[in-house]
Structure 1
Amino acid sequence: MDRPAFIGNLGKGFGIGGGRGGGGGRCGRNSSNRWGEFEHFSKALIPSVVASGRPSFDGYIGEDVAVERTAFVTQYNSPAFVNNSGRPVVVILSWMGANRKNIAKYTEFYRERGCDVYFFLNNVGHAIIPIESRRQAHRVIETLSSIPQNRPVFVHAFSIGTGVYGYAVDMMRNKEEQFKHVAGVIYDSGPAMIFPSDVAKGLHLVCPSVSKKIWRVVANAVFTVTQARKNFRVAEDALAESQLAHAPQLYVYSKDDTIINEVQSSIGHFIEQNRRRGIECFSKVFEKSKHVMHLRYHPDEYMENLGRFLQNCLERHDRSLIAGEQSARAAAH
């Protein structure tokens, strides 16, 4: 099967939020404005949660949702693809507060290897409000469904993006044939079972001028109002019990991740559960690279592992297509 220049130069090159090095969103850091910033944030977030389920941050924490192809930006409900080229497609689900600049280094990596790239930017609402996570997951499903079946698809989910994908997996139940073109899934700094304390730590990384104590109050309040713990369990269970059986998984995380509690046992739970279902799972564990910051601290090793995984998945996908074509011809005779 013809494939664009994808490999060669492989070495070049539900967690919560991104630290400064990971590219989290910015908010003011002047301590004299600390309470004013929190008041502005809470007024934007809490009333909209109760009234409409759709938070508004005035663009100050992170953008709501963006889906971008390599050369242009398109809305999530627009036709996603205008050709049937067979080129690989990568769908990136960002960490909390990430922007286009933060994601650029990843999209560049994939573009250099012949892939089309779409990405979803996740904000605070997607981290702590279940209905927002579900809406984002629905957009992901729409995008995956719009991709022709002959185009291998990779999902690359970071931090809270893994939780969004968990809701998408729940929506895929009993529809594996529809998503057989998903060739592999990469989890960066996740998934994990999410609790208010974890969310508060992520919020503080994104907006450190608001104290950890205040963020804990916010996280606990929102989790109570939205019954987030109960609702997020749906996504977590899907990631442990219902993932696409044909799509290999790569988990990348660091032992010094301070956002996810007991990171190794937490992520290890999902790896173990999926291996029990017969899914091929790989992992790359760094000693020191913090939450969603592996590319910054270990660029060559990170890209080499990512490239090797993509190559293996593409070869597996091609073999599956050939076997399917041969079976179809045999049945026709």
Structure 2
Amino acid sequence: MVHSLSASKKQQFVTACSCSEGRRPDADRVWTMIREVWLRHKPLLLLYNIVNSSSIKPAPFYKGVFDTTSLPPVSSILQMRRLQMLQVSHGLLGRNMSTQTVRISEHMELKQTAVDKAIPGKKPLVVLLGWLGATGKSLEKFHPFYTRQNCDILTIRPQAYHFLWPPKASILTRDLLEYLKSNHTNKPIIVHGFSIGCYVYSMLLLHLAQSSQYADVKEQIQGQVFDSVVIGGLKQMTIGVSKSIHPNALVRALIENTLMAYFSVTCNVTVNTFDEAIDIFKNSPVKAPCQFFYSLDDPMCDPDTLKLAMESLEKQGNLVFAKCWPKSGHTLHLKNHPKEYEETLNSFLSTQKLTVGTIMSKL
């Protein structure tokens, strides 16, 4: 074994591992790196991959000891390790499934999983509509529910101005529909919205209701998941925006009062559009099963108003499921109740045949 070589052998090993430029790197650094590769990263497999990718001959083994005269230069191994770490950081390598992330626009990002040839048809696409202030790291906590089922994930992170000026949200959702129409035809789509993201989805529903050019996209939507819907009135919406902007209660109160004054001045563009969005949410043109997650202590979600919305969706023929907690918090259900959240979501997807193995038959 390498780590059992004598001091003289170790010196020979370091000398043999000189860089291609003729310079010898720091011996302790080289030895530490090679020891790590040997003990933790399966050097035989690593060297085999190097051979396949760059035609470097691997070092043969004699009685369990390296023949140091034919080792690849240290610079090659370091380059391989750096490349491997870069790929892992970008999601190109993984224990179970390879992924890659592509930025579509300022607000849209696509995470693609490797194609599984054992599963026929096209992979489902999950449209993840985040809450205000949601970071990529926060939203990535929801990715495993879908990536392990070989789904691609399109993440949309709305900003405050999409709420404050609805025409901006209208442009965002129109661009989203155009992208789906052009790049994801005939794919099953699952929508998973959070908080203000559900409002953005309502703006998308307005486009679907007003234009037939996106009829195919409407038919592709096979499931809808709504987490912490902001509903109950304009006050709930302003609370949501203020909490995403500042943590201090006094500052939030000032923001809320300012927003209410702003909405009173711009009501023809803002408030009227919000009313249309709430109405289209209750009378959605999309006919697909719905799963709601909410809590009774959420200041941005009025339970009674939400129940009326769910009843309206049921009357239109949609299957509606709900998971409610007495205490949880806004968009904190996965954090506060991880096991119940996962079980409920997985049950919804499997019961409604929205998992990748069976969703293909719906199209």
Q: Is the 8 Å Cα contact of residues 149 and 180 (structure 1) preserved in structure 2?
A: no
Return the offset for 1:117.
0.4
Give the match's secondary structure for 2:180.
helix
Q: Tell me which residue corresponds to 2:201.
A: 165
Whole-Å separation in 2 of the counterparts to 1:219 and 1:120: 24
Return the offset for 1:319.
4.3
2:258 is aligned with 1:207: no
2:111 is aligned with 1:72: no
After superposition, the Cα gap between the structure-2 partners of 1:151 and 1:166, relative to the gap in structure 1 and judged at 3 Å, is same
Match for 2:188: what amino acid? P
Match for 1:295: what amino acid? L
After superposition, the Cα gap between the structure-2 partners of 1:225 and 1:99, relative to the gap in structure 1 and judged at 3 Å, is farther
Q: Tell me which residue corresponds to 2:151.
A: 115
Whole-Å separation in 1 of the counterparts to 2:312 and 2:165: 26
Q: Tell me which residue corresponds to 2:221.
A: 182
After superposition, the Cα gap between the structure-2 partners of 1:70 and 1:117, relative to the gap in structure 1 and judged at 3 Å, is farther
Structure 1, unmatched stretches of 5+, are 1-68, 322-333
Identity across matched positions, percent: 27
- Name the structure, 1 or 2, with higher relative contact order (CA <8 Å, separation 6+): 1
Whole-Å separation in 1 of the counterparts to 2:353 and 2:165: 33
Q: Tell me which residue corresponds to 1:309.
A: 348
| Alignment counterpart, residue 256 of structure 1, candidates 278, 291, 297 | 297
2:116 is aligned with 1:90: no
TM-score (norm 2): 0.62
Return the offset for 1:190.
0.9
Deviation string, structure 1 residues 68-115 (Cα, Å, up to 9, x no partner): x95223224999799995111101010111121111111233212211
Q: Is the 8 Å Cα contact of residues 231 and 237 (structure 2) preserved in structure 1?
A: no
Q: Is the 8 Å Cα contact of residues 130 and 226 (structure 1) preserved in structure 2?
A: no
Task: Give the total of aligned pairs.
Answer: 250
Q: Tell me which residue corresponds to 2:260.
A: 220
- Deviating above 3 A after TM superposition, structure 1's stretches of 4 or more consecutive aligned residues are 76-85, 146-150, 174-178, 315-321
Give the match's secondary structure for 1:211.
helix
2:166 is aligned with 1:137: no
Return the offset for 1:314.
2.2
After superposition, the Cα gap between the structure-2 partners of 1:141 and 1:131, relative to the gap in structure 1 and judged at 3 Å, is same
Q: Is the 8 Å Cα contact of residues 101 and 111 (structure 2) preserved in structure 1?
A: no
Q: Is the 8 Å Cα contact of residues 248 and 313 (structure 1) preserved in structure 2?
A: no
Superposed CA RMSD? 2.8
Return the offset for 1:191.
4.8
Shifted more, 284-293 versus 173-182: the winner is 173-182
Return the offset for 1:157.
0.6
Give the match's secondary structure for 2:131.
strand
Return the offset for 1:248.
0.9
Shifted more, 76-85 versus 157-166: the winner is 76-85
Whole-Å separation in 2 of the counterparts to 1:79 and 1:123: 14
Find the structure with the greater CA-based Rg: 2
Structure 2, unmatched stretches of 5+, are 1-97
Whole-Å separation in 2 of the counterparts to 1:90 and 1:207: 30
TM-score (norm 1): 0.67
Q: Is the 8 Å Cα contact of residues 91 and 153 (structure 1) preserved in structure 2?
A: yes
Q: Please state which structure has a larger fraction of its residues in helix.
A: 2
